[in-house]
Amino acid sequence: MGLFTGKKGLVFGIANDRSIAWGITQKLHEEGAEMGFTHLPDKDPAHPKMENRLRKLVSGYNPKVILPCDVGNKDHLDAVFNAAKEAYGQIDFMVHSIAYANTEDLKKETIECSREGFLQAMDISVYSLLELTRRAKEILAPGGSIVTLTYLGGEAVIPGYNVMGVCKAALESLLTYLAFELGKHEIRINGISAGPIKTLSASAVGDFDDMLKLYAAMAPMKRNVTQEEVGKSAIYLLSDLASGVTGEVLHVDSGYHIMGAPSAKNMPTAG
């Protein structure tokens, strides 16, 4: 009997098998969870690439909900949560693994980000958590839990992360306010600040390969983290094992976030 046997939830943010949300989903499935899923809307309904990709991944899970979801589209959100209520009645958890910035704006220095790009990034990466949480609150059972994904670039400057770092800072602040307001409803919400993992969205971040090398060299554990490790940490936060934890950001980054400088042997030498 797994930690999530008899538990039901929604997962937002699986793009492909390299997505952090997919790593979390696999661990939830191993622990007995039943899940509904969303995918990005397909531009050509006659050739539903995003839907087919998701259905292939979760084909063995027998999900009752698989729907397109643009988090900025009220009709999509209504359809997802109405379907979840009809299929499950109540749910026990929700995973929010959604972030987006226009590539052109993301690659610019933050000071050069356009107004439109800034607002879009904030809307999708931050406001979506508020919107999904407000709707999930109506069907989350007491003791329910929400997890969102963040990154160290919301706490400190990570060159190349640019406007997305500002979004993650806002996301982490929003998380604490939501934790306060949800507490009286016996609902918890926490975040995971994962180290760099080669996902589809990470490919848009400048110098990503150099970032992986830096983490491996500088982190106390001298390596990068895996999709599976993030999934295991999500299991803890979503389960009753973390029943007294809310409003937290758990760093899963081999300890990189505690370092202020590389160890002496990794310091550059004077020329």
Residues labelled as active-site residues:
151, 161
> Which tokens hold the place of 2?
């797994």
Please choose, from the candidates 164, 222, 229, the residue with its C-alpha nearest in 3D space to the C-alpha of residue 192: 229
* Residue count of the chain: 271
The DSSP 8-state label assigned to residue 125 in this structure reads I
Distance CA 242, CA 267 (A): 38
Distance CA 222, CA 260 (A): 15
State the sign of the Cα–Cα–Cα–Cα dihedral 148, 29, 186, 245: negative
Please choose, from the candidates 146, 25, 10, 185, the residue with its C-alpha nearest in 3D space to the C-alpha of residue 90: 10
The DSSP 8-state label assigned to residue 268 in this structure reads P
Q: Would you say 128 and 98 are in contact if contact means Cβ atoms under 8 Å apart?
A: yes
Distance CA 195, CA 70 (A): 26
Distance CA 251, CA 230 (A): 9
Q: Would you say 35 and 28 are in contact if contact means Cβ atoms under 8 Å apart?
A: yes
> Which tokens hold the place of 73?
């589209």
Measured in whole angstroms, the distance separating CA 258 from the mean position of its chain's CA atoms is: 22
